């Protein structure tokens, strides 16, 4: 997890899946559109990777680590509300081939992230 | 994630007034939102008489015009919006300013501040109005009702102080101890008829005193959603039991300010401070219909309101820009403040409201364009995050009004 409310999960194939946290989707409210990066795009950690449009606001999702986009969740085009319903499951944004695994070590684990939210 | 572009202050992190360090772009929007929630309780925000009920209903409360207001309930803005178009939504609009103008010359006195025919406003009738300035701009929009002994006014929350300053030399009384509820939607009449049968036959833009349940109310058939519905002024002490009574009727659900905004946008209705303000004239805003003939050139009570010369000129000759509806292509909303360009890339207008219409299931916006680009269907483009977004001028309203006009007598 990041302090900016993205989550990243390492998958068995060596890529990592990225989305926004439940807290983030709740704060944004009903999501009506997600602009996803192009497959093959190289992202630096902290780059704007996706744009989330809710009924009332637009927010940008940053790349939690550097890497190359290997897949995007095209189902969100028709069903952006999936991000509200299943933010850490079917509402994922994109998969990324991680350039520097050391960047992962600096991210927050779920317990630390949730602990920060409670403060 | 990064902070959103400026919207109407409905989103929790758009709390620039509350947040230390301001809303610098690049700040952490959601973390700030989290901080702001804790800050909220210590800020001197006013609460409406329904505050306890909002909390009980699980509302997300945000600062709006100096009040802590429900932006949405747990069902969310899209569902609340759709519910209002399908059944009936109950809105707390107690933050709005209510006042009475007393005296036998109240109507003619108010006519010196607005370009409306108020001497001709019959008892029990309501009229949309706006205060103008000497440059022909709009200082606020309001509702004026003839209650016989007095004129009853409802003004925007954010403009209360300025409006009451305008009225200071008149015999007026601020109704600080009254709440205002709006019941809106196609089944609103059915719901209110269970509590006060004769209200169901009121025509649009009329007003009456009635008991709703056990509560003495002043009720008008009007609203801000494009739907049939009622606005109910009630003593603050009665507001919560009345709201509970209305919510207990089949088909009635609470609706927050978020859906109120998307409903009014679909209905093509102006939001003060966004679609109309001191710099927009009534003709530019397409509000000519609100200026009655007797106040126009050649009318019996022609002019004699601030900005009359300019506004009366524009009524005859038109204005160089015009408020229009905008339909963006695709699904992503285009927000307030974006510039509109013609096919050559020249800037020809600017958006004043933008969002997502749950009934249209599409993004929609309003803005001002040079008059030659105001015809419905005109292709324009907006630049969003560096990329051009195609859009078209659309007729207003986006969703047809369904007011209860009653049968002609």
DSSP assignment of B35-85: HHHHHHTTS--B--TTHHHHHHTTPEEEEETTEEEEEE-TT-HHHHHHHHH
Nearest residue of A to residue B78, measured between CA atoms = A30
The side-by-side arrangement of strands in the sheet containing B215-220 is B207-212, B215-220, B229-235, B178-184, B88-92, B252-254
- Write down the pLDDT at residue B32: 40
Q: Is the pLDDT of residue B37 over 50?
A: no
Range in A26-30, A71-75, B203-207, B276-280 with the lowest mean pLDDT: A26-30
Residue A36: CATH number of its domain: 2.40.50.100
Q: Which is more confident, A116 or B401? A: B401
Please indicate, yes or no, if residue A116 is contained in any of the structural domains.
no
Residue with tokens 């009318």: B299
Q: Distance between CA atoms of B364 and B399, rounded to whole angstroms?
A: 11
- Write down the pLDDT at residue B406: 75
Burial of B368 (0-12, 13-18, 19+ CB in 10 A): buried
Spatial CA neighbour of B113 closest among B304, B373, B301: B304
Cβ–Cβ contact A53 with B under 8 A: yes
Interface predicted TM-score (ipTM) of this complex, two decimals:
0.89
Please indicate, yes or no, if residue A86 is contained in any of the structural domains.
yes
Are the CB atoms for B363 and B356 separated by under 8 Å?
A: yes
Domain count, chain B: 1
Confidence grade of residue B386 (pLDDT, cut at 50, 70, 90): confident
Please indicate, yes or no, if residue B223 is contained in any of the structural domains.
no
Domain limits at B313? 288-394
The alpha carbon of residue B45 is apart from the nearest alpha carbon of chain A, in Å, by 21
Mean pLDDT by runs of 10 across the 119 residues of chain A is 90 92 93 96 96 92 95 96 96 96 89 85
Domain count, chain A: 1
Please indicate, yes or no, if residue A13 is contained in any of the structural domains.
yes
Interface residues from chain B to A (CB-CB < 8 Å): 1-5, 7-8, 10-14, 28-31, 33-34, 71-72, 76-79, 258, 261-262, 330-333, 335, 355-356, 358, 363, 385
Cβ–Cβ contact A48 with B under 8 A: yes
Please indicate, yes or no, if residue B401 is contained in any of the structural domains.
no
Please indicate, yes or no, if residue B380 is contained in any of the structural domains.
yes
Find the helix or strand (DSSP H, E) in which A91 lies: none
Model pLDDT for residues B97-119, shown as the tens digit of each residue: 999 999 999 999 999 999 999 99
The pTM assigned to this predicted structure is 0.90
Q: Is the pLDDT of residue B70 over 80?
A: yes
What is the mean predicted confidence (pLDDT) over B290-305?
A: 98
- Write down the pLDDT at residue B407: 59
The token pair at B394 is 């659309």
- Write down the pLDDT at residue B43: 59
Please indicate, yes or no, if residue B351 is contained in any of the structural domains.
yes
Confidence grade of residue B31 (pLDDT, cut at 50, 70, 90): very low
What is the mean predicted confidence (pLDDT) over B139-152?
A: 98
Residue B379: CATH number of its domain: 2.40.30.110
Are the CB atoms for B203 and B404 separated by under 8 Å?
A: yes
The alpha carbon of residue A56 is apart from the nearest alpha carbon of chain B, in Å, by 7
How much of chain B, in percent, has pLDDT values that exceed 90? 87
Top-confidence range, A93-107, B209-223, B377-391: B209-223
Please indicate, yes or no, if residue A81 is contained in any of the structural domains.
yes
Please indicate, yes or no, if residue B234 is contained in any of the structural domains.
no
What is the mean predicted confidence (pLDDT) over B300-327?
A: 98
Find the helix or strand (DSSP H, E) in which B321 lies: strand B321-328
Q: Do the Cβ atoms of A4 and B31 come within 8 Å?
A: yes
Please indicate, yes or no, if residue B324 is contained in any of the structural domains.
yes
Nearest residue of B to residue A78, measured between CA atoms = B331
What is the mean predicted confidence (pLDDT) over B271-298?
A: 98
Nearest by CB to residue B1, choosing from A5, A32, A55, is A5
Domain limits at A65? 6-102
- Residues in chain B with CB shorter than 8 Å from the CB of A115 are none
Residue with tokens 């790349």: A63
- Write down the pLDDT at residue B34: 40
How many helices (H) does chain B have, and how many strands (E)?
9, 19
């Amino acid at each position: 997890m990041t302090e900016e409310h993205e989550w990243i999960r390492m998958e068995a194939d060596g890529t990592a899946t990225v989305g926004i946290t439940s807290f983030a989707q709740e704060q944004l409210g009903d999501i009506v559109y997600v602009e996803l990066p192009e497959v093959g795009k190289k992202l630096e950690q902290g780059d704007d990777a996706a744009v989330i449009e809710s009924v009332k606001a637009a927010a940008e999702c940053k790349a939690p680590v550097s890497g190359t986009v290997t897949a995007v969740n095209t189902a969100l085009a028709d069903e952006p509300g999936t991000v509200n319903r299943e933010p850490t499951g079917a509402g994922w944004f994109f998969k990324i081939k991680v350039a520097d695994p050391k960047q992962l070590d600096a991210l927050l684990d779920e317990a630390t992230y949730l602990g920060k939210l409670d403060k | 994630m990064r902070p959103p572009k400026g919207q109407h202050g409905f989103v929790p992190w758009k709390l620039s007034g509350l947040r230390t360090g301001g809303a610098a772009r690049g700040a952490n929007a959601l973390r700030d939102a989290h901080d702001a929630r804790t800050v909220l309780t210590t800020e001197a925000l006013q609460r409406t008489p329904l505050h306890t009920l909002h909390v009980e209903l699980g509302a997300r409360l945000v600062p709006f015009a100096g009040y802590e207001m429900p932006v949405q309930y747990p069902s969310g803005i899209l569902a609340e919006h759709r519910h209002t178009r399908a059944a009936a939504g109950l809105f707390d609009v107690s933050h709005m300013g209510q006042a009475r103008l007393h005296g036998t010359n109240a109507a003619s006195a108010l006519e010196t501040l607005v370009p409306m025919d108020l001497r001709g406003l019959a008892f029990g009738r309501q009229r949309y109005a706006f205060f103008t300035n000497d440059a022909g701009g709009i200082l606020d929009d309001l509702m004026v009702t003839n209650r016989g002994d007095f004129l009853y006014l409802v003004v925007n929350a954010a403009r209360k102080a300025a409006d009451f300053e305008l009225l200071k030399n008149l015999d007026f009384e601020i109704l600080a101890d009254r709440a205002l509820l709006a019941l809106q939607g196609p089944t609103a009449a059915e719901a209110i008829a269970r509590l006060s049968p004769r209200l169901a036959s009121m025509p649009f833009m009329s007003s009456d005193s009635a008991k709703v349940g056990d509560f003495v109310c002043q009720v008008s058939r009007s609203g801000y959603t494009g739907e049939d519905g009622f606005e109910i002024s009630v003593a603050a002490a009665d507001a919560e039991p009345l709201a509970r009574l209305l919510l207990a009727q089949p088909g009635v659900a609470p609706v927050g300010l978020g859906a109120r905004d998307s409903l009014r946008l679909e209905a093509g209705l102006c939001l003060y401070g966004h679609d109309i303000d001191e710099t927009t004239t009534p003709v530019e805003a397409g509000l000519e219909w609100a200026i009655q003939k007797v106040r126009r050139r050649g009318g019996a009570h022609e002019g004699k309101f601030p900005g009359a010369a300019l506004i009366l000129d524009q009524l005859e000759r038109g204005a160089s820009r015009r408020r229009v509806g905008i339909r963006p292509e695709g699904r992503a909303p285009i927000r307030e403040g974006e510039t509109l360009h013609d096919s050559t890339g020249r800037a020809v207008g600017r958006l004043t409201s933008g969002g997502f219409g749950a009934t249209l299931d599409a993004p929609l916006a309003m803005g001002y364009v040079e008059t030659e680009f105001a015809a419905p269907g005109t292709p324009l483009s907006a630049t969003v995050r560096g990329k051009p977004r195609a859009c078209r001028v659309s007729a207003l309203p986006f969703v047809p009004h369904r007011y209860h006009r009653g049968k002609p007598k």
